[in-house]
Structure 1
Amino acid sequence: MTGTAAAPRVAVVGAAGWAGTRHARAFAAAGAKVSVLVEKDGRGVALAQDLGAQLVPSTAELNPEDLDLVVVALPTTMQPVICADLLNRGFHVLTEKPVSADAEGAAVLAAASGVNERLMVGYTLHHHPAAALVAQWIRNKDVIAVSVRSVAHKQNLNSWRADPKEGGVAVVNGIHAIELVSSWFDGAPKVLASSASSGLYGSPVPEHIVSTLEFAEGVVLTLQSYWSPWREPEGLNQGDWSLTIDVLASEGRMLWSNDSLHIWERKGGQYEKTFEPSDLFLRQAETALNFCAGGIPAVAFAQALRATEIADTVLAAVPSAPGTSSPRSISKTLNTTPTVD
């Protein structure tokens, strides 16, 4: 008689936040034992009780012998140092995207032990069932252009997202599409133009950004990303995020819109598929459990760093007002009101 394999043991850092809570519940639903939650205050008490997890105030209390995976879901600027420490101590780590708020901030992580083998970066779009079909469709196509519209619903911007050091919507939301599209094409794209605005909420960060980039093959990417106070009729992540990716090729056209996929072939054929709404956190958790058992990361450090470097160039191309120098501080490049509390 063979014994039943023990459930993988998972810790979640920043478990009381929106993403951290989603991660914790997703891993529990995927069959893992969420054994530890890391939070500095009492906000994680109810979740810890619900999941039967221990609540600790610091990652210093985590032991690699007691855990198979540590999930880090913190503001972007905080994650590199914490992830580097965990990697140096021998953990497998799943970190929320992006890998850093900017390429400079990723340097500490680049030097960490096992960064290419034991770190997986949480770009959830790769786990949508449409993603593999899209990648397969474009593989042998002569792609001309890709247009992306990525809109995340936020009632207000009174948290870490309003910190200029976090990079604004291009880094927090638009980078999902930047990472995915850049995984289809080689080389570092050239930014042809970028513009940004903070007119929706009046925060000190870019809340709306439009950028046009060109990859080495001549493929043009047009990206529009913004936070919206209005919830859209359809969307990913339980309606919080509306995504459209439109690919134009010499051989046809492909339109991925949330949970639907429509392909028009040049010779007249059409293909349409509608997917059941996906819990992308659950799909990612299932993949991450395979990763910490010895599999390869769905998105490794090198690809995640490339996306961050592209986001840097997008922000650097935003025109600055006279006498300003930092594209990361929208309060310096645009006329805005102070941070919303």
Structure 2
Amino acid sequence: MSKLKVSIIGCGSIAINRHIPEFHDNKNVEIVAVCDIVSERAEKMAELYDTKAYTDYKEVLKLSEVDAVSVCLPNYLHAPVSIDALNAGKHVLCEKPMATSQEEADEMIAAAKKNDKKLMIAHNQRFVDSHRKAKEIIDSGKLGKIFSFKTTFGHPGPEDWSIDGASSWFFKKEEAYMGAMGDLGVHKADLMRYLLGDFSEVGSFIETNAKENTDVDDNAVCVLRTENGVIGTLAASWAYVTGSYNGTIIYGQEGTLRLEDDPEHSLIEEYKNGHVIKHKLSKIQSNEDGARTNTHVIDHFVESVLENKQPLIDGEEGMKSLQIILGAIKSQETKQIISLK
């Protein structure tokens, strides 16, 4: 099998900690270019991974040897750069949220189809062991009818994680468009769609009350209804000052599933007959522990391209998860429940 030749566009924290090392670790990949408008960042990564540095992504897209690109840029650049790459004949792995509007998402999907190239959105929660096991249990019918859920992703904020700290694009509305909802909420929206199917309605309360000098959301609580009538809550926050929480609880007719809700056990099955099953699975990744963990996102993308398979989170899937977040923002603005159909 010939190696997939990739370029990473954007050398901020997500590229440094996830994309570049995971591409490097994949034996079927050759990193042929890295790109960042800050030349020192690109050069540092190029030196570290023995590749070439660029400061203009359009120069990278002209390289005939590049098969695929990772788009690791601020939110407002996800769509335009992905579309340019697809139109240049490159496969694209784009960071989440895939876009900042429905129109942008539609254009990305259309560009992938027109050029017959893979478009994958880098949602990683579907690859977490506890989440995959939970889907298996739910699909088996063991829990019976699902009634409700609550899912939460919160941490102290991007200041410690982003390469630019408190001055990061994460806090600039014109570059981020959305804050905790785009950073964390969209992950949980994608997870709940994976576990429970598509959603039909969303209502929300969204605030900017934890961070100073920003007008993007930092606290959000949403109420959601699936097309099958399951109701629950989704919370996204940059206000969890003592550490992160990335857990989900699913309530069914026969019992409850606790995902990433216990420090020791990644998944706990609790049944109304008193039966409890505790699973020790590999931990969900965290930005805090400093440990290198494989997200499986890059490996799945590489396999999808090399074996010409549909990615698990293609453009359509990424768009449906984005729609929940866009709907939640619209709900906050209009003070109404928003239909997602």
Global fold match (TM > 0.5)? yes
TM-score of the superposed pair, with normalisation by structure 2: 0.83
Deviation at 1:171, TM superposition (A): 1.6
Alpha-carbon distance in structure 2 between the residues aligned to 1:155 and 1:41: 20
Q: What amino acid does structure 1 have at the position aligned with 2:318?
A: A
Partner of 1:209: 220
Find out whether 1:21 has 2:16 as its counterpart. yes
1:192-245 per-residue CA deviation (whole Å, 9 max, x = no partner) reads x3112222112211100011111221101201110136352xxxxxxxx53010
1:47 to 36, 45, 48: 45
Deviation at 1:151, TM superposition (A): 0.8
2:152 to 138, 144, 149: 149
Deviation at 1:280, TM superposition (A): 5.5
Partner of 2:75: 76
Extract unaligned runs of 5+ from structure 1.
233-240, 322-341
Deviation at 1:290, TM superposition (A): 0.3
Q: What amino acid does structure 2 have at the position aligned with 1:40?
A: I
Deviation at 1:27, TM superposition (A): 1.1
1:9 to 5, 28, 31: 5
Retained in 1: the 8 A contact 2:112–2:119?
A: no
Which sits farther off after the overlay, 280-289 or 123-132? 280-289
Deviation at 1:155, TM superposition (A): 5.9
Residues 1:285 and 1:110: Cα distance change in structure 2 (over 3 Å): closer
Deviation at 1:253, TM superposition (A): 0.4
Alpha-carbon distance in structure 2 between the residues aligned to 1:57 and 1:21: 16
Residues 1:281 and 1:103: Cα distance change in structure 2 (over 3 Å): farther
Residues 1:267 and 1:285: Cα distance change in structure 2 (over 3 Å): same
Q: Within 5 Å, which residues of 2 pair with 1:62-211?
A: 62=60, 63=62, 65-114=64-113, 118-139=118-139, 140=141, 141-154=144-157, 156=159, 157-165=166-174, 166-191=177-202, 193-202=203-212, 203-211=214-222
Residues 1:186 and 1:128: Cα distance change in structure 2 (over 3 Å): closer
Alpha-carbon distance in structure 2 between the residues aligned to 1:188 and 1:126: 17
Alpha-carbon distance in structure 2 between the residues aligned to 1:44 and 1:65: 20
Deviation at 1:13, TM superposition (A): 0.4
Q: What amino acid does structure 2 have at the position aligned with 1:13?
A: I
Q: What amino acid does structure 1 have at the position aligned with 2:185?
A: G
Give 3-state SS (helix, strand or coil) of 2:47's partner.
helix
Q: What amino acid does structure 1 have at the position aligned with 2:113?
A: G
1:251 to 231, 235, 254: 254
Retained in 2: the 8 A contact 1:96–1:123?
A: yes
Alpha-carbon distance in structure 1 between the residues aligned to 2:227 and 2:91: 34
2:35 to 17, 33, 38: 38
Which sits farther off after the overlay, 49-58 or 61-70? 61-70
Find out whether 1:314 has 2:328 as its counterpart. yes
Partner of 1:61: 59
Retained in 2: the 8 A contact 1:64–1:90?
A: no
Residues 1:282 and 1:182: Cα distance change in structure 2 (over 3 Å): closer
Give 3-state SS (helix, strand or coil) of 1:189's partner.
strand
Residues 1:131 and 1:57: Cα distance change in structure 2 (over 3 Å): same
Alpha-carbon distance in structure 2 between the residues aligned to 1:249 and 1:97: 30
Extract unaligned runs of 5+ from structure 2.
160-165, 286-291, 336-341
Give 3-state SS (helix, strand or coil) of 2:310's partner.
coil
Q: What amino acid does structure 1 have at the position aligned with 2:250?
A: V
Deviation at 1:264, TM superposition (A): 1.1
Residues 1:276 and 1:183: Cα distance change in structure 2 (over 3 Å): closer
Alpha-carbon distance in structure 2 between the residues aligned to 1:309 and 1:89: 27
Alpha-carbon distance in structure 2 between the residues aligned to 1:100 and 1:24: 22
CA RMSD, 1 decimal: 2.2
Residues 1:153 and 1:280: Cα distance change in structure 2 (over 3 Å): farther
Residues 1:221 and 1:104: Cα distance change in structure 2 (over 3 Å): farther
Give 3-state SS (helix, strand or coil) of 1:205's partner.
coil
Partner of 2:314: 300
Residues 1:97 and 1:154: Cα distance change in structure 2 (over 3 Å): same
TM-score of the superposed pair, with normalisation by structure 1: 0.83
Retained in 2: the 8 A contact 1:68–1:292?
A: no
Residues 1:26 and 1:247: Cα distance change in structure 2 (over 3 Å): same
Find out whether 1:273 has 2:279 as its counterpart. yes
